[in-house]
Every structure is written in structure tokens, then in C-alpha cells.
């Protein structure tokens, strides 16, 4: 039997004159944790809505678990877990009521599928009598995930589940997703945070409605062609533009406190650059050779 | 079925946890009915009048006494000459001035007629009209009582106001308020509750769920059917016990008609919510497009028969008009179903049309 869970071929969708999705194709095997990385407005939400049968594509076809998203939308809706981008639970219902409501309308009960959600639900269970509107951002997302999982879907679509969630909760959330994989659920997740990409099995980089690259995170890093130095000093913004102007530099990106300088392998000598910067009046110049992280690769891909 | 009941239970949670909804549902009917019943009244009590009696004889004194002892009028002041009249009206308190011509009794005896003038303050035409009628009535009664043996032939009409002998305004308001409030509660509340889900984004999840559109719609409607029905019972009971408005006809028929009207208003509410996506718009449409016609074009306050033809035509496409006719018939006249079946059929047709339109319009996808 075909082992592909999601097949998207040549999907396009316009909103008025804006191209939200432009000839997008990809495939996701069953049980994979597939990530969509891209800035706001890249078309992630539109893609998720098409797969969740909420929006019709203008062109192209897509199927989920063998069901066409246009013709068989009713069948897809039975096997699908969906967590929309904005928090969409009932604020005036308690945690428990929200969960049991979603269980009921999908024709199941909390008890029946408790195993699937128990790792996540245990963390919010102490607050189960609390109204959903009064939960913290991280807890709301955990509850939303529980609600999306309660009917044991074959596929779940999580549209930016970690946006607006603190760093610790984000990590916990990804931890849960990785554990869910063991239940052989296909998980498609989108995020604007590039560092989360390395936690997926495969990632697609999406920008302006087009997929730039689909690959395993390790491969994306392995494909990185440039050598990379991290440069730190005072006067950060001037440093960025000075580095950019330095001959032989391919690109400069700011990552927290340091500037990542990319250049063709062996095109630069570290001592030359240090001397140049000290000469230009920078104090405490620190330059280190670093291994590219997934963010470096994305910055590179996105600037192409 | 379990899915569906789960959905309905959720709707009840929403309603009972939102005290504003509850206030609208149960506070407004009571307050409105009391307001309309007590404050807005066409009945006349203690209207202030002035009398200019140029004759000051036995007859004029008797007539004045009759008028002042009727309970409708109290004397503000006696005037001494004709020119004081306009001054008196300008002061504003006096609503009516009665002027007796000179030698009133004498003329009445000798010529068989005497001069009497009634002036009303028509800056408020309805009140002036009613006051003038009352005063005329009292005067005529008096004349009849003294003349009875002198006049050879007379027709004395005996007027009886059928169905509302005391001409109580509240008889008119109870049906009107029922029509208005049930429309408000049903249409406004359902349209708000559906658009709220759209605004919150929960509609997205409901759509993705296996719930069918018809289940979502009916699930939204059922709680409000129950609540609006309770409301109509409250209004009827208050009308009966507080204001003495009778229910002459079959109470079960009356309640069934209420239920039909509620369903009609609810389907209208769903229709509104399926063509709008924000609570604000839904509220504006419900209030502007439903409330005003319900009040003005339904025969609630202004009789349909007296309107210009175009407006009359408009009235005929206003569902509340039919409902008001029906409940007036049943409550006040005690008519049975054979008298109201035509209006009932029309209401039912409205319901079916709105229902079908809203199910058709209901989007199974986002925009």
C-alpha cells in the first residue's frame, strides 16, 4: 500500500491579485514530522487551510490519506486534527469542557483516547476547572493540541502552534510532537522560528508562496557551501555594515550578539579581518570559526 | 445524535455564563413591558383645563361640574376674558380650554341652542383629540339628560368598545411587545452567537469537524427556541397578572403561534449571520433592519390601513404584522384557528424560505 500520507501537486491559490501559493508540490510519508518554515505571509496558513479542506485551491490537486481535499472533504474531516493559527477554543468553557466538547463532536470521549493525549493533558490537568480564557499562552496551545488530538486523527495540521509562546513551553511542545510520532500520526507543522526546523524530520522552506527547498535538516546544513565566522565587538550596527563592505564577504547576518560572516571557503584570513577591524577602531574584537546552524542555511536560502 | 446534544449543551454553557446575554433574555422583556404598560399610555387622567365662563348661570355651572367630576380633568384656572386663552396655552400646563358664550342658559331655553367652544392644545395632536372627544361626550350627555322630554325625536347611540371596553393601551402593547422582543431575542441572539464563532476562529474547527451544517445551525437555534418560548410565557403572564390583559382564545394555539414566530425569527437570525462575518455588522443589521420595521410597519403602534399605499405594501412583507394580527385575534377576540390560519400559513412560509436560504448560504468552507 502507498505509504504517502499527504500528496500536494501543483497547488496555486490567489487572493485577489496576491499570489498566496504558487505551484506548490510536495509529499509527506505517513508518520513523518514535517515542518514548514517561512516568514509571515509566506502562504503557510493558506496551504494548511487547503489541506484542512477549508479553502479551495485555484489550481492543482492535493490529497490527505488518499482522499481528495475538494471531492472527499467530508471523509478528510473525519480523520483530521487541525489546530488553527489563532487560539480557537471557547474562552468561556473550562479546560475540561473544551476537551470533552471536541471529543463529543468527533464522536468519541476523553476516556477512549486518553492514552494519546495523557502526556500533554497531564500538564494542564491541574487547571482543568479553569476557564480556557484564563490560561497562559503555552497552556492554551497545549490544550488546543489536546483538542486536535482527542479523536485520534491520522493526520494533524498545526498552524504556527508555538507563535507567541515562551521559549520553555516551545521546547516542551516540540518534545510532545516528537513523542506523538510514535503513534504513527503524520504531523505537519508550520512555524516562523527557524531554530525549530532542526526538530522536524524534514522541513520545507516557503517564501512568497513558493517552496524554496525541502530536505532533512542535516542535509540542509550539509549543503551549506560557505565558511562561517562569528564576529563580536561593540558598536554592533556599524560592525554589520563594515563587515558587509569587507572584500570577499558573501553575506552578514545578525544572530543575537554576534554577526555571522559567510564567505567562500578559504577566501579570507582571520588575522587579516581582525587587523582590519582593530584598525577601524573596534575594541574587543572576537572572531571564531563556527559550524553552520539551520538558521544560517535558511538565511542563505531566503536571500537567493 | 450524541455529537449534536454535546453541541447544544455547549451552547447552553455560553448563554448561562454570559450574564449580559441572560440580562437581555430575561431583563429586557420585563422592563419593556412595564415601561410600555405604565409610561407610554394613551389614556387620559387628570388633564388640566381652563374654563372661561362668560355667562356664569346655572347650566354652565352644572356642565363645568360634570366635566370636572369626570375624573379626566382638573381645573387649572378660571379665565375672565377671551384674550387670556392664548396666554394660558403658552404657559403649557393647560391642555384644554372650554368657553361658554354669554347668556348660555337663556339662549338654550329660548332658541334651543347655545354657544360653547372647546379649544385643545394641538401641539400634541393625539392628546388634544382625545381630550376634545371626552369633553364633548360629557357635554352631550348632560344635554341629553336635561332635554330628554323636550326633543321630539332622538337617536341615542350606545357605544361599546368591543374586546377592550376600557380602551386600555396595554391591550395593544402586549401583542406588539411580544412581536418585537421575540424578534430581538431570536434574530439578534442567534446571529450574534454564530458570528461570534466566526470572529473567535472556533468556526474553523467546527467546520473541520464531522458536524454537518444543519446540525450546527439547529444546535445554535434550539437553546434560543427554549429561552424565547419561556420569554413569551413570561410576557403573557405579566400581561395577564399585572395589566389584566386577558387570553380569550385557546392558550395552546397561542403558544404554538409564538413558537412558529420564534422559529421564523431564528431562521432570519441565521440568515443574517450567514451573510455577515462580524458581530458588529450582525448586530446593526438585526437592530436596524428588524427592530424598526417591527415597531413601525407591523401595525404595532400605527395602523397599517392608514399608511400610504407604498408603506402598506412594505407592511405586507413584514412577518411581525401577521404575528401581531394572529395574537390579537387569539388573545383579545378569542378567535380559533379557522380565523387565523391564513396568517399562520404566511408566517410558516416566511420560516421555510428563511430556513432554506440560510442552509443554502451556510458556507462549508472559509471564504
DSSP designation for B366: -
Over the stretch B178-214, which tens digit does the pLDDT of each residue have?
888 888 888 888 888 888 888 888 888 888 888 888 8
CB pair distance less than 8 Å for A88 and B10: no
Asked if residue A199 and residue A242 are part of one domain, the reply reads no
Asked if residue A143 and residue A37 are part of one domain, the reply reads yes
Looking at the structure of chain A, the number of domains it has is 2
Asked if residue A87 and residue A63 are part of one domain, the reply reads yes
* ipTM given for this complex: 0.79
pLDDT of B167 strictly over 80: no
pLDDT of B150 strictly over 70: no
With vertex at residue B260, the alpha carbon angle to CA B259 and CA B265, rounded to the nearest 5 degrees, is: 95
Asked if residue A146 and residue A126 are part of one domain, the reply reads yes
Distance from CA of B13 to the nearest CA of A (A): 7
Domain definitions of chain B by residue range: 14-40+168-361, 47-147
Over the stretch A51-79, which tens digit does the pLDDT of each residue have?
999 889 999 999 999 999 899 888 898 89
pLDDT of A1 strictly over 60: no
Query: What residues of B are in contact with residue A153 (Cβ under 8 Å)?
Result: none
Asked if residue A107 and residue A230 are part of one domain, the reply reads no
The phi and psi torsions of A131 (rounded to 5 degrees) equal: -70, 145
Asked if residue A248 and residue A191 are part of one domain, the reply reads no
Domain boundary among A181, A216, A251: A216
Domain boundary among A162, A189, A216: A216
Over the stretch B223-255, which tens digit does the pLDDT of each residue have?
989 988 998 898 888 888 888 888 888 889 999
Segment A118-131 mean pLDDT: 87
Q: Are strands B96-100 and B47-53 parallel, antiparallel or unpaired?
A: parallel
Range of A168's domain?
Answer: 4-216
Over the stretch A81-90, which tens digit does the pLDDT of each residue have?
999 887 788 9
CB pair distance less than 8 Å for A52 and B202: no
Interface membership of B366 toward A (CB under 8 Å): yes
Asked if residue A234 and residue A200 are part of one domain, the reply reads no
Over the stretch B10-44, which tens digit does the pLDDT of each residue have?
988 888 888 887 887 888 888 888 887 777 665 67
- Residue A240 belongs to domain with CATH number: 3.30.70.100
pLDDT of B140 strictly over 50: yes
What stretches of chain B adopt beta strand conformation (E)? 47-53, 73-79, 96-100, 116-120
pLDDT of A202 strictly over 90: yes
Q: Whole-angstrom Cα distance, residue B78 to residue B53?
A: 8
**Mean pLDDT for all residues in chain B:** 84
Asked if residue A196 and residue A274 are part of one domain, the reply reads no
CB pair distance less than 8 Å for B200 and A80: no
Query: What residues of B are in contact with residue A102 (Cβ under 8 Å)?
Result: 205, 209
Are B157 and B137 in contact, with CB atoms under 8 Å apart?
no
Exposed/middle/buried for B161, CB within 10 Å: 0-12, 13-18, 19+?
A: exposed
Segment B106-119 mean pLDDT: 84
Q: How confident is the model at residue A176 (pLDDT cuts 50, 70, 90)?
A: confident
Asked if residue A142 and residue A25 are part of one domain, the reply reads yes
Domain boundary among A195, A216, A237: A216
Q: Whole-angstrom Cα distance, residue B347 to residue B355?
A: 12
Distance from CA of B367 to the nearest CA of A (A): 7
Residue of A nearest to B219 (CA): A105
CB pair distance less than 8 Å for A92 and B13: yes
**Mean pLDDT for all residues in chain A:** 87
Q: Whole-angstrom Cα distance, residue B247 to residue B163?
A: 11
Query: A with B: how many residue pairs have Cβ under 8 Å apart?
Result: 75
Asked if residue A263 and residue A130 are part of one domain, the reply reads no
Level-2 CATH architecture, domain B47-147: 3-Layer(aba) Sandwich (3.40)
Chain A residues in contact with chain B using a Cβ-Cβ cutoff of 8 Å:
49, 52-56, 73-74, 77-78, 80, 82, 84, 86-93, 97, 100-102, 104-107, 147
pLDDT of B365 strictly over 80: no
Please report where in the chains the cell 524534514 appears, as a residue: A202
So what's the pLDDT on residue A164? 79
Higher pLDDT, A128 or B161: A128
Amino acid at each position: 500500500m502507498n505509504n504517502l500520507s499527504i500528496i500536494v501537486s501543483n497547488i496555486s491559490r490567489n487572493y485577489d491579485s496576491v499570489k498566496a501559493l504558487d505551484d506548490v508540490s510536495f509529499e509527506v510519508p505517513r508518520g513523518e514530522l514535517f515542518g514548514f518554515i517561512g516568514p509571515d505571509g509566506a502562504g503557510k496558513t493558506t496551504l494548511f487551510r487547503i489541506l484542512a479542506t477549508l479553502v479551495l485551491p485555484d489550481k492543482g490537486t492535493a490529497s490527505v490519506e488518499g482522499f481528495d481535499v475538494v471531492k472527499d472533504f467530508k471523509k478528510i474531516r473525519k480523520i483530521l486534527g487541525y489546530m488553527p493559527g489563532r487560539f480557537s477554543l471557547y474562552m468561556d468553557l473550562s479546560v475540561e469542557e473544551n476537551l470533552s466538547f471536541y471529543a463529543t463532536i468527533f464522536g468519541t470521549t476523553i476516556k477512549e483516547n486518553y492514552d494519546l493525549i495523557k502526556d500533554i493533558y497531564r500538564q494542564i490537568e491541574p487547571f482543568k476547572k479553569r476557564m480556557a480564557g484564563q490560561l497562559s499562552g503555552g497552556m492554551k496551545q497545549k490544550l488546543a493540541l489536546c483538542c486536535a488530538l482527542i479523536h485520534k486523527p491520522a493526520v494533524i495540521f498545526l498552524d504556527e502552534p508555538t507563535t507567541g509562546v515562551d521559549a520553555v513551553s516551545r521546547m516542551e511542545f516540540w518534545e510532545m510532537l516528537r513523542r506523538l510520532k510514535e503513534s504513527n500520526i503524520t504531523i505537519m507543522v508550520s512555524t516562523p522560528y527557524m531554530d525549530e526546523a532542526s526538530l522536524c524530520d524534514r522541513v520545507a522552506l516557503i517564501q512568497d508562496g513558493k517552496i524554496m527547498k525541502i530536505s532533512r535538516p542535516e542535509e540542509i546544513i550539509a549543503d551549506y557551501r560557505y565558511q562561517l565566522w562569528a564576529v563580536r565587538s561593540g558598536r554592533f550596527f556599524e560592525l554589520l555594515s563594515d563587515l558587509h563592505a569587507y572584500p570577499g564577504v558573501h553575506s552578514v547576518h545578525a544572530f543575537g550578539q554576534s554577526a555571522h560572516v559567510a564567505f567562500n571557503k578559504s577566501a579570507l584570513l582571520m588575522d587579516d579581518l581582525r587587523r582590519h577591524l582593530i584598525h577601524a577602531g573596534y575594541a574587543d574584537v572576537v572572531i571564531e570559526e563556527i559550524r553552520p546552524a539551520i538558521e544560517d542555511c535558511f538565511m542563505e536560502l531566503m536571500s537567493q | 445524535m450524541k455529537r449534536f446534544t454535546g453541541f447544544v449543551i455547549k451552547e447552553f454553557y455560553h448563554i448561562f455564563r454570559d450574564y449580559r446575554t441572560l440580562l437581555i433574555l430575561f431583563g429586557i422583556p420585563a422592563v419593556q413591558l412595564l415601561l410600555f404598560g405604565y409610561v407610554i399610555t394613551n389614556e387620559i387622567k387628570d388633564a388640566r383645563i381652563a374654563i372661561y365662563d362668560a355667562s356664569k348661570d346655572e347650566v354652565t355651572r352644572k356642565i363645568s361640574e360634570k366635566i370636572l367630576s369626570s375624573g379626566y380633568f382638573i381645573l387649572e384656572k378660571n379665565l375672565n376674558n377671551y384674550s387670556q386663552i392664548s396666554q394660558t396655552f403658552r404657559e403649557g400646563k393647560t391642555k384644554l380650554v372650554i368657553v361658554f358664550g354669554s347668556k348660555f342658559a337663556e339662549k338654550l331655553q329660548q332658541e334651543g341652542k347655545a354657544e360653547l367652544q372647546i379649544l385643545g392644545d394641538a401641539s400634541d395632536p393625539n392628546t388634544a383629540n382625545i381630550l376634545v372627544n371626552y369633553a364633548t361626550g360629557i357635554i352631550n350627555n348632560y344635554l341629553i339628560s336635561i332635554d330628554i322630554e323636550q326633543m321630539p325625536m332622538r337617536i341615542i347611540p350606545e357605544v361599546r368598545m368591543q374586546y377592550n371596553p376600557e380602551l386600555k393601551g396595554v391591550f395593544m402593547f402586549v401583542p406588539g411587545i411580544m412581536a418585537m422582543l421575540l424578534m430581538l431575542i431570536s434574530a439578534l441572539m442567534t446571529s450574534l452567537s454564530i458570528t461570534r464563532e466566526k470572529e473567535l476562529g472556533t468556526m474553523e474547527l467546527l467546520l473541520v469537524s464531522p458536524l454537518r451544517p444543519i446540525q450546527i445551525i439547529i444546535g445554535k437555534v434550539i437553546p434560543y427556541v427554549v429561552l424565547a418560548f419561556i420569554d413569551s410565557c413570561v410576557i403573557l403572564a405579566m400581561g395577564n397578572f399585572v395589566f389584566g390583559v386577558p387570553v380569550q382564545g385557546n392558550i395552546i394555539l397561542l403558544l404554538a403561534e409564538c413558537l412558529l414566530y420564534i422559529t421564523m425569527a431564528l431562521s432570519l437570525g441565521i440568515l443574517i449571520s450567514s451573510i455577515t462575518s462580524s458581530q458588529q455588522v450582525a448586530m446593526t443589521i438585526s437592530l436596524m433592519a428588524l427592530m424598526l420595521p417591527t415597531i413601525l410597519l407591523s401595525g404595532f403602534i400605527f395602523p397599517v390601513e392608514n399608511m400610504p399605499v407604498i408603506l402598506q405594501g412594505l407592511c405586507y412583507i413584514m412577518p411581525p404584522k401577521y404575528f401581531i394580527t394572529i395574537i390579537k385575534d387569539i388573545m383579545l377576540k378569542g378567535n380559533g384557528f379557522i380565523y387565523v390560519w391564513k396568517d399562520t400559513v404566511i408566517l410558516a412560509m416566511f420560516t421555510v424560505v428563511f430556513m432554506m436560504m440560510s442552509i443554502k448560504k451556510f458556507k462549508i468552507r472559509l471564504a
